[in-house]
Chain A
Amino acid sequence: MSYTIQGATGPWEVVVGLEVHAQVISRSKLFSGAATAFGAEPNSQVSFIDAGFPGMLPVINRECVAQAVRTGLGLKAQINLWSRFDRKNYFYADLPQGYQISQYAHPIVGRGSVEIELSDGSRKTIGIARLHLEQDAGKSLHDQHPTKSFIDLNRSGVALMEIVSEPDMRSPEEAGAYLAKLRQILRYLGTCDGNMDEGSMRADVNVSVRRPGEGFRTRCEVKNVNSVKFVMQAVEAEARRQIEVWESGGEVEQETRLFDVARGITRSMRSKEDAHDYRYFPDPDLPPLVLDPAWVEELKASLPELPDERRARYIAMGLSAYDAHVLTLERETAAYFEEVAQGRDPKLAANWVTGELFAALNRMKRDITDPPVSARHLGELLDLIADETISGKIAKDVFEIMLETGEAPRAIVESRGLKQVKDSSAIEAAAAQVLAAHADKVAEYRAGKEKLFGFFVGQVMKAMQGKGNPALVNEVLRKLLG
């Protein structure tokens, strides 16, 4: 079922393309040796290059180039061995050079694709048009003084990847799924931390509407949207606004807009005249960037496993599609799961991670990067189940104690005497007592009410505080009742 918005005059389709700015993970900036760490003292991570001082020359950071190539490879995109830096000229207080070094005509990465999964289980491929490297601008603070804006240049010159999609998305859900998937891929690759709160990833959302079957109509660009949820809201709000314009006989004008989160609407940015006339030209300070194909191959060979591949591998290990999906959403979760599953039954490991552990994380409001039970301890617990030291049921009690005390499972089982009883004479004694106490039910069972068998098992387990070996309890009961 394709998504449409019902207007007063009929259904409308929504067309969305995203330009995502992703901050590259690197120690120093794209063209200077100043640090990139978040949250430093204002203007303490600024070189004369980043501040646009005259006479300074930019020198490119090899790691930033490598990160762009890795990202391109992760997006199954073409790597352009020859690319070039251009100047994008505009004036703003937090852009001291008066231009941003970017790549316009010859980006480092060309066409690629991203596969997204939708809530109905269907999959769709979204085209990537290009990826290029560019400098970030500084940060303006407008609310610190009645008549002045404050400028912090720490971010000035930090490397960004601008990742431009094709206009392939047709609903808010698809736009949200694309951004989430892109973030997941970048985090797996380790090329961007994806912290949208800190501005490490921001999206410009291009939206237009059309009648089903029509060609594209004029689009508007909603700037700087900083969460998956807001992207979805912005797409819908902007589409509804455009439908209203078209249906009232007006014409949508191409412009840059802002998403007002509080009111849930987009509004026009007081666009300066000529704002889009950037007068790009090749940066004379920078010769072309030529990549050695052997280096690109090296980077390709060292690429980590990507989420889609990892999920396929988990399914091949016997996990359900759902578990494989949930466990691969965050790279940290997958790493935790793999440590637990290492050398053990993967399905059992998946059940414990997605079941008990996730529930505990939710309950304790903690993150997989700061788990209340280490992967090593959880693995040890699974070993105790596997070698029948404890039953699965007792294991859940042990897990609760692990959450509370942080103790190792084996120590808990020892100190609290939770070891499973495998001595059949002890089980026989307990079973005989239970049967004697429930002579009426034994008679019913023997008369054909076989369902009562489970009741006897439960009673014996209860009498043994859950420590009876379940298989042995069953065996003994069958013998005694048989």
Chain B
Amino acid sequence: MSVDAATVKRIATLARIRIEDAALPRMVEELNGILAWVEMLREVDTQGVEPMAGGAPTGQPSLRMREDEVTDGGIAEAILANAPDREGPYFAVPKVVE
């Protein structure tokens, strides 16, 4: 598996990361290096092995569940403390036009 410049540009756009065109070739090379390294995993024979998800093999103990109780919230000031902009109790962002 490998990526080309167009794919890298697209991924960057989706992730809202700006990459100047001049920086693209190096990024393509680096990403392909990483992909090639991960490719090594293909050498492992996984015939008959159940796929894993979230680090636990299929059939392993589940996600821990909590009881349905209100234990959090009521901290609007703390939530808003780091907001770049706010209006009263709201976060304020540049107007989103649909």
Q: How distant is B81 from chain A, measured CB to nearest CB, in Å?
A: 10
Query: With a CB–CB cut-off of 8 A, which chain A residues contact B98?
Result: 142, 269-270
A-side contacts of B63, CB under 8 Å: 60, 286-290
> Are B72 and A150 neighbours in the complex by a CB distance under 8 Å?
no
B20 interface hit (Cβ, 8 Å): no
The stretch from A46-54, A323-331, A399-407, A453-461 touching chain B is: A46-54
A84 touches B68 (CB 8 A): no
Q: Assess whether A284 is interfacial by the CB under 8 Å rule.
A: yes
Query: How many angstroms between the C-alpha atoms of A93 and B80 in the bound complex?
Result: 14
Q: How far is the CA of A219 from the CA of B96 in the complex (A)?
A: 27
CA distance A242 to B75 in the complex (A): 49
| Residues of A close to B85: CB separation below 8 A | 148
Q: Flag whether A283 is at the interface (Cβ < 8 A).
A: yes
Of the candidates A85, A145, A277, A283, the one whose C-beta lies within 8 Å of that of B92 is: A145
B66–A60 CB distance below 8 A: yes
The answer to whether A283 touches B90 (Cβ under 8 A) is no
Instruction: State whether B72 touches A47 (Cβ < 8 A).
Output: yes
For B64, the chain A residues whose CB sits under 8 A away are 59-60
Is B72 a contact of A287 with CB atoms below 8 Å?
no
Q: How far is the CB of B6 from chain A (nearest CB, A)?
A: 13
Cα–Cα, bound, A65→B54 (Å): 18
Give per-residue flags for A142-174: 1 if the beta carbon is below 8 A from chain B beta carbons, else 0: 101111111111000000000000000000000
B75, chain A: closest CB distance, angstroms: 7
Query: What is the distance, in angstroms, from B17's C-beta to the closest C-beta of chain A?
Result: 11
Q: How many CB-defined contacts (below 8 Å) exist between A and B? A: 157
- Structural contact, A63 and B95, CB atoms closer than 8 A: no
Give Cα A89 to B13, complex, Å: 13
Q: How far is the CA of A154 from the CA of B94 in the complex (A)?
A: 20
Knowing A142-B95, A151-B91, say if A60 contacts B75 (CB, 8 Å).
no
Contact A153 B79, beta carbon cutoff 8 Å: yes
Cα–Cα, bound, A287→B55 (Å): 7
A51 neighbours in B (Cβ, 8 Å): 79
Contact with B along A119-155 (1 / 0, CB 8 A): 0000000000000000000001110111111111100
Give, as a whole number of angstroms, the nearest-CB distance from B14 to chain A.
6
A291 within 8 A of partner (CB): yes
Interface check B58, CB cutoff 8 A: yes
The smallest beta-carbon distance between B92 and chain A, in angstroms, is 4
**Cβ of B69 and Cβ of A28 under 8 Å apart?**
yes
Alpha-carbon separation in the docked complex, A32 to B89 (Å)? 21
Contact B68 A43 (CB under 8 A): no
Q: Is A102 an interface residue (CB 8 A)?
A: no
Task: Say yes or no: B10 contacts A274, CB within 8 Å.
Answer: yes
Taking the complex as formed, is A27 at the interface, i.e. its CB lies under 8 A from any CB of chain B? yes
With contact pairs A289-B62, A290-B62 given, residues A151 and B90 touching in the complex (Cβ less than 8 Å): yes
- The reply on A44 being an interface residue by CB < 8 A is yes
Kindly identify which residue among B55, B73, B92, B93 contacts A34, using a CB–CB cutoff of 8 Å: B73
- Is A61 among interface residues, defined by CB-CB distance under 8 A? yes
Contact B73 A64 (CB under 8 A): no
User: Chain A interface mostly helix, strand, loop or mixed?
Assistant: loop
| Given A60-B65, A93-B93, A287-B54, A43-B76 contact (CB < 8 Å) | yes
A164 to B95, CA, bound (A): 32
Name the residue of chain A whose CB is nearest to the CB of B93.
A93
A282 at the interface (CB under 8 A from B): yes
Task: Tell whether, in the assembled complex, residue A150 and residue B92 are in contact, meaning their CB atoms are under 8 Å apart.
Answer: yes
Q: Is the CB of B70 within 8 A of A27?
A: yes
Chain B residue nearest to A25 in the complex (CB): B68
The answer on a CB contact under 8 Å between B65 and A61 is: yes
Indicate if B87 sits at the interface (CB-CB under 8 A): yes
- Whether A288 contacts B70 by the Cβ 8 Å rule is no
- Provided the pairs A145-B95, A147-B94, A150-B90 are in contact, do residues A287 and B69 lie with their beta carbons within 8 angstroms? no
Would A62 and B55 be within 8 Å (CB), given that A45-B73, A274-B10 are in contact? no
CB distance from A192 to the nearest CB of B (A): 15
Within 8 A of A (CB), among B38-97: 53-56, 58-76, 78-80, 85, 87-97
Q: Does chain A have a CB within 8 A of B16?
A: yes
In the assembled complex, the Cα of A291 lies from the Cα of B14 at a distance in Å of: 35
Residues of A within 8 A of B73 (CB): 33-35, 44-47
Residues of B within 8 A of A150 (CB): 87, 90-92
* 26 A-B residue pairs with CB within 8 Å: A27-B70, A28-B70, A33-B73, A42-B76, A43-B76, A46-B73, A46-B79, A60-B64, A61-B67, A62-B67, A142-B97, A146-B95, A147-B95, A148-B87, A148-B94, A149-B92, A149-B94, A151-B93, A153-B79, A269-B98, A270-B98, A274-B13, A274-B14, A282-B53, A287-B53, A289-B63
Given A34-B72, A270-B98, 14 other A-B residues pairs in contact with their CB atoms under 8 A: A32-B72, A33-B70, A46-B76, A65-B65, A93-B91, A146-B95, A149-B92, A149-B96, A150-B87, A151-B93, A288-B56, A288-B60, A289-B62, A290-B62
